[in-house]
Amino acid sequence: MVADCKKPTVPPSVYCSDQCLELHASHSLQKLEERGVSLQTNPQEFVRGSGGVSVLELATGKMLVGIAAPSAKNLVSWLKKHPSYQVLLHRKGKGKQAFNVFTYHF
């Protein structure tokens, strides 16, 4: 999962360890905040379809966004239960060009 990590992952997980998963979650949230993405956990945000942290399962292409996505508050525990998912970073654009999968470089 982490680009420069030499440790192997154990499928279906894309992380080599809980530490790697936690680093991914932490740095992804930081990048999202830097890009001005709202990480509100207010229930009203979820009603409007925002507030969740968009995630992607690369193996299947399944993407969870908005109310279906995990909140910033529970991202680490959610990823531990769903270790085949990665955080998506939103960027300006439409369609597939609107997202990047975030990988942390040590």
What total of structural domains would you count in the chain? 1
Q: Judge whether 45 lies within some domain.
A: yes
Extract the tokens encoding 81: 């239960």
Residue-wise pLDDT tens digits, 17-71: 999 999 989 988 888 888 777 666 555 544 444 568 999 998 999 999 888 999 9
Q: Judge whether 69 lies within some domain.
A: yes
**Boundaries of domain holding 41:** 18-101
Q: Which pLDDT band, with edges at 50, 70 and 90, does 14 fall under?
A: very high
Extract the tokens encoding 10: 């154990």
Q: Judge whether 7 lies within some domain.
A: no
Q: Judge whether 28 lies within some domain.
A: yes
Q: Judge whether 31 lies within some domain.
A: yes
Q: Judge whether 41 lies within some domain.
A: yes
Q: Judge whether 92 lies within some domain.
A: yes
Give pLDDT, residue 32. Answer: 85
What one-letter code names the amino acid at 79? Answer: L
The whole-angstrom separation of Cα 11 and Cα 24 is 17
**CATH number, domain with residue 85:** 3.40.5.120
Give pLDDT, residue 9. Answer: 87
Please check whether residue 32 is in contact with residue 88, taking contact to mean a CB–CB distance below 8 angstroms. no
Q: Judge whether 106 lies within some domain.
A: no
